[in-house]
Structure 1
């Protein structure tokens, strides 16, 4: 099996699973309990928080644990709206955001908020000048993803931050779900970013784990009201084994980050250079520094994306249509639509997304399989 669908989810690393099981079996006390068993669980939780903070060079109190990316995105969007609505009801985001940002924004529109969606260019990238032009006196939040999950575009986060330095009261949120372990920490944690969202299952941690970076001093309404856990911002008994396992997953990813990025880029290049030779292939992902190393989106124009996915699956190679969250809905890729890609091309789009376990040998096998499948598809499209 060749697994090229790492942007959808990753396999839990064996060492991470071992950590999860050990904590689950031996330290299962409630971190809020007053007895020693609870204190031991609390200490482990805080050690994990400290470790994550150290790895990203932020303060431990700025790390708030959640269940993953969708929860984190929803919290920042809605929590900012609740906390700052007396100052304004205008939100700015992009036309290519993940549904976990876009849909909460649409929910807020029903409650009287106004949302501006910034356009993108032919590479799926916003123009910071458009952001500056869109800012109003009642703007309270700007939300921009770091790496596009469909085609891998890296958004100009630092440039957006420069614009927002003139507007210190506007919250700046970055969806960083696709950015961990990709050599992009200097972008995600630039000085002006107030919130950043992360999801554990994207970097070999258990599903149902994640965290949000909340810059010290920034106000946001609690996600869950209750017993006051997570600084009163996300009440509920903490997922101690999941959090500790996630901290270990981040350590492992960070240890091999530079080598992983280079290998992913080499794999991407090998596949890119091969498939670009074919007449009916359209490639949407770039291969320069403006695109992440791990995502390659392309179409065999005239063949539906799900047909391509299943054809590769039959050969033991797992890829996806452009977003796992919408692939089963047979929806046209939101990013490609925003880029004004013709519908025929957009509905043929598929995505390869690489991880630290992938190899150049797998790229060669993919290319070999591509050749065989393409010959069969030619009968459909010619």
Structure 2
């Protein structure tokens, strides 16, 4: 099988699976228990927290392990909005955010907040002129994804941060689910307040991730109970998942430059190949993330191409795994004003550090066979 849907999820690394099994076997005590077994388990948990904090350049007390990207984004949107509402109740998010941010933001509208959506240009990049117009003194939260999950557009975080700081006292949340491990992102590099990471996007385990805050920021809890995770996310902390999340982050961080260079080389090869077809439009911008290439075949439904490739053991997706089983048009593509001729035929190719040159070569041969049969207008 040739798997080119790594933005949806990645294959778990064997060493991470080994760690998961080992921690379950040796450190299965409740980390909140006061006996020595519980204490030892808690020490392992705190070690994982410290490792992540060192990589992200923040305090270990600001690392909150969660069930993944969706929970982390919800915690950021609701938790930061409520914590800093004394500064104002005006919230800004981009029009192309992940549903876990968009739907949470829409919910804030029903809770007395005013939410506005930042437009993007035809490349999926935030319109900085429009952002400046939308910012107010009472803007208390701005949330932007670093890399868009559907098209790979990279947002200018540094420019956005400077603009937000100059025009408001808003806290800045960055959804780094698609960027961590592919692009540098931490609190030392960027003047931001919160970021989200999901383990299964970086060859870790599903059901795990985190929300990290800068050293000076706080967040209101969403899940109440026994006060675990510094009272921010109550419930017995799944230590094996937390430890594996930290390990996935360490591995991704250590091999970032090497992996990014190789992934960029392979996706540039894909772009060059796809541009050889008359009826194909590259949707991803030239300045895309190194692991995503999104394109469309004129007047052909994406599902037709996906099914044809799947029969040949090649796995790709439409623009997003979150919307691929839905018939509605992607909100990202609508925000980019993709024409009717192309908006239904979007295919996303997403690779990982495990993708090989041979797989790319085989994909090109199979895709050529498929497209010659389908032949879009």
Q: Which blocks of at least 5 consecutive residues in structure 2 are unaligned?
A: none
Give 1:330 shift.
2.4
Are 2:140 and 2:168, in contact at CA under 8 Å, matched by a contact in 1? no
Normalized against structure 1, the TM-score is what? 0.95
Mapped to 2, the partners of 1:250 and 1:136 lie a distance apart of: 36
- After superposing the two structures, state which structure 1 stretch, 82-91 or 264-273, moved more: 82-91
Mapped to 2, the partners of 1:295 and 1:189 lie a distance apart of: 26
SS at match of 2:78: helix
Among 322, 325, 338, the alignment partner of 1:341 is 338
Alignment of 1:358-373 (within 5 A): 358-373=355-370
Mapped to 2, the partners of 1:142 and 1:202 lie a distance apart of: 24
State the Cα deviation string for residues 261-286 of structure 1 (Å, max 9, x = none): 11111111111111111111011113
Are 1:74 and 1:100, in contact at CA under 8 Å, matched by a contact in 2? yes
SS at match of 2:51: helix
| Residue equivalent to 1:215 | 214
Mapped to 2, the partners of 1:36 and 1:198 lie a distance apart of: 31
Mapped to 2, the partners of 1:316 and 1:366 lie a distance apart of: 10
Mapped to 2, the partners of 1:171 and 1:252 lie a distance apart of: 29
Q: Which blocks of at least 5 consecutive residues in structure 1 are unaligned?
A: none
Q: Decide whether aligned partners of structure 1 residues 155 and 318 sit closer, same or farther in structure 2, where only a CA change above 3 A counts.
A: same
Give 1:369 shift.
0.9
- After superposing the two structures, state which structure 1 stretch, 69-78 or 54-63, moved more: 54-63
Alignment of 1:147-186 (within 5 A): 147-167=147-167, 169-185=169-185
SS at match of 1:249: helix
Q: Decide whether aligned partners of structure 1 residues 189 and 351 sit closer, same or farther in structure 2, where only a CA change above 3 A counts.
A: farther
SS at match of 2:360: helix
Mapped to 2, the partners of 1:198 and 1:121 lie a distance apart of: 26
SS at match of 1:298: strand
SS at match of 1:212: strand
Give 1:357 shift.
0.3
State the Cα deviation string for residues 135-187 of structure 1 (Å, max 9, x = none): 1232111001000001101001110111122256311000000011113226x
Alignment of 1:216-255 (within 5 A): 216-255=215-254
SS at match of 1:325: coil
Mapped to 1, the partners of 2:188 and 2:151 lie a distance apart of: 22
SS at match of 2:248: helix
SS at match of 2:166: coil
Pairwise CA RMSD: 1.4
- 1:48 equivalent to 2:48? Answer yes
Give runs of ≥4 in structure 1 deviating > 4 Å.
none
Give 1:111 shift.
2.1
| Residue equivalent to 1:139 | 139
Q: Decide whether aligned partners of structure 1 residues 28 and 295 sit closer, same or farther in structure 2, where only a CA change above 3 A counts.
A: same
State the Cα deviation string for residues 302-338 of structure 1 (Å, max 9, x = none): 1111111111111111110111011101231221110
| Residue equivalent to 1:103 | 103
Normalized against structure 2, the TM-score is what? 0.97
Alignment of 1:267-278 (within 5 A): 267-278=266-277
- 1:316 equivalent to 2:313? Answer yes
State the Cα deviation string for residues 65-109 of structure 1 (Å, max 9, x = none): 111110011111111222233432211011110101000111111
SS at match of 2:262: helix
Are 2:124 and 2:285, in contact at CA under 8 Å, matched by a contact in 1? no
Aligned residues: 377
Are 1:161 and 1:190, in contact at CA under 8 Å, matched by a contact in 2? no
Give 1:110 shift.
1.8
Mapped to 2, the partners of 1:43 and 1:168 lie a distance apart of: 40
SS at match of 2:160: helix
| Residue equivalent to 1:355 | 352
| Residue equivalent to 1:30 | 30
Are 1:337 and 1:343, in contact at CA under 8 Å, matched by a contact in 2? no
Mapped to 2, the partners of 1:167 and 1:238 lie a distance apart of: 39
Are 2:143 and 2:173, in contact at CA under 8 Å, matched by a contact in 1? yes
SS at match of 1:116: strand
